[in-house]
Amino acid sequence: MPERRPDLTERLRSLRAGIVRRTGGAASSARQEPSSPAAIRVFFERRMLVMLALGFAAGLPNLLIFDTLSAWLRQADVPLRTIGFFSLATLAYSLKFLWAPVVDRTSIPVLTTVLGHRRAWMLAMQAAIILGLWLVSGSNPAANLWLVASFAVFVAFASATQDVVIDAWRIEAAGEDRQGAMAAMYQWGYRIAILTAGIAPLLLAEHIDWSFAYAVMAALMAIGVAAVLGAPRERPRPVTSPLLSHDLPARPLAEALEWIGRLFLLLAGAYVFGVGFTGQFVMIEWAAPLAGETPESLAPLRAVWDRQPAGVLIQVGLAFLGLLMIVGAALPVPGLRTRPGTYFARSYGDPLRDFFDRFAGTAGLILAMICCYRLSDFVLNIMNPFYLDLGFDLQTIAEVRKGVGVVMLMLGVGAGGWSIARFGLIHSLIVGALAGPISNLVFVWLTMQGPEPAAFALAIMVDNLSAGYAGTVLIAYMSSLTSAGFTATQYALFSSLYSLPGKLIAAQSGTIVEASARLAAPGGPLAGLTGLLYDLPLASFAAGGAALGVSPAALGAGYMAFFFYSCLVGLAALVLAIVIARRQARAAAPRERAAPASPGSAMR
């Protein structure tokens, strides 16, 4: 009899086991899917509660530096333009992949021996954050603005490094079947911290002062310290090559020159990447004197920078140029092995080589899928204009989005973690790739309903529920792609780069709506959509349509066409996810028959 070919479900199970073996997970392909109560009990394990507290520790300094500090600066009569510069402190979060190799391979004296590699780094960074926030609390922005700015940058750097370590610990402290729950707890803790840092300091500053408010926030970081001390150790890490090679002859002068050249190219690449990634034109103005230019001479470039879509194309191009410069800094000198070249090759080349070796044949598809997975959410960057054009007022938008919207987002995050524990990562990944784009169609329905608060609330509930689910699944999937020894570097690269394509495509959203609205004019190819909007109130889309020179129904039809487009764009990830699942299942099946997966021992 011919051998029966395994169906897709069996292939997915084999794939899941293959990923677990590659990442040191604890589950085997033979394990049965847990019951729903068992999947829920996962959330109450010790490491999950630790993850909740670590998520809080990660979110607290982020908002304190990025948002809350601006209120203190404004009350100190700092100009708005200067306040805007402070947002650049958070550039550290985008560039954290640059120093992630150091976090992966460098031990902290004494602490590493006592706590383990990851917990030692977490505790050191939390100490730095507490010190930085305490220094901010003791400063006066009106008298020492640049001192406050320096402390803010210090906190941002320590916080971004803490994020790198927390992500690495989360991945290494649990098997693949618990990564969804770990990601969910992290996001819950992070959201709680965002609410805390956005409300508590304002109330404390109102009743006491800003210095006391930031001192209290520094004290709240003790929650993260307690979590580190109570966290279980991650699994033993494999021995990796030291970053500095000691088997090459010393060439002090030549090495010094090479170090200077490579570091200059690396820092320049990081700066160019930061300009493109953040879209902050002020960074170009800062660098203008180096090229003999003045801010006034950059006025034509500023006009193009602010124009869509040309400005975004330039920004994305600069981001990729910066990445190329960083890659250039890490490339070895042709035909010559040097200590600096070996250092950079091991820092950035080894993690990338490891990833492409482990996922040979599918690595490119995996990276493309990661970049496409949240496209259907990224392109929805014109939702507030849509709500206003439809006829909702600002208070209603705020109440629904910050009320029921936040609740449903958190439920979606939890649902994603439960789904992975209950049905497995690959099944959940495919469901998320379908749910994200399909949920955008709820806004087509909302367009036809008009400014009805109940319909608005339902649309937000559906969209945020699917966004929370898909976001959790994506975090868990990116976590499964890392390998022990390079966890921090690989995950930092994935999390820093996956949003770049979304930034490029999202820049076209407004253009697509306006073009579609013109195509919905009488006799146009989209005119049929206007017949679905006959029952809308007269005020809906009236002002926006008049400004664009089209009828209100045509503008409504333009929005509907855009939502259909956003769904189709997002479905690319679904196709890629299915292709990847099939390919990796076929690759994993022979290995499963030859050697069953080792059950391992997951931490409890």
CATH 1.20.120.80 holds for 39-230 = no
Segment 278-292, tens digit of pLDDT: 777 878 887 788 777
CA–CA separation, 282 and 309 (whole Å): 19
Helix ranges (H only) for 481-551 are 487-497, 500-506, 509-519, 542-548
Positions of the chain with pLDDT under 70: 1-36, 80-90, 235-247, 308-309, 500, 503-504, 507, 587-604
Residue 403 has a pLDDT of 85
Collapsed DSSP state (helix, strand, coil) of residue 76: coil
Question: Would you say the C-alpha torsion 584, 586, 587, 591 has a positive or negative sign?
Answer: positive
pTM score over 0.85: no
CA–CA separation, 558 and 382 (whole Å): 13
Residue 165 has a pLDDT of 92
Residue 127 has a pLDDT of 95
8 Å CB contact between 425 and 180: yes
CA–CA separation, 290 and 280 (whole Å): 18
Residue 507 has a pLDDT of 67
Residue 520: Cβ within 10 Å count: 26
Residue 36 has a pLDDT of 67
Segment 414-427, tens digit of pLDDT: 899 888 888 888 88
Residue 130 has a pLDDT of 95
Residue 603 has a pLDDT of 39
In sequence order, what are the residues at sequence separation of 6 or more whose Cβ sits closer than 8 angstroms to the Cβ of residue 342?
A: 244, 245, 248, 332
DSSP secondary structure, 70-97, as one string: HHHHHHTT--HHHHHHHGGGGHHHHSGG
Residue 240 has a pLDDT of 62
Q: Using N-to-C axis directions, what is the helix angle for 363-373 and 425-439, rounded to 10°?
A: 40
Residue 48 has a pLDDT of 87
Of 421, 435, 420, 436, the residue nearest 473 (C-alpha):
420
| Residue 258 vs residues 241, 329, 348, 589: alpha-carbon distances, Å | 21, 10, 17, 47
Residue 245 has a pLDDT of 64
8 Å CB contact between 351 and 241: no
8 Å CB contact between 152 and 134: no
Residue 323 has a pLDDT of 84
CA–CA separation, 578 and 45 (whole Å): 32
Domain ranges of the chain: 39-230, 252-337
Peptide linkage before 537 cis (omega within 30 of 0)? no
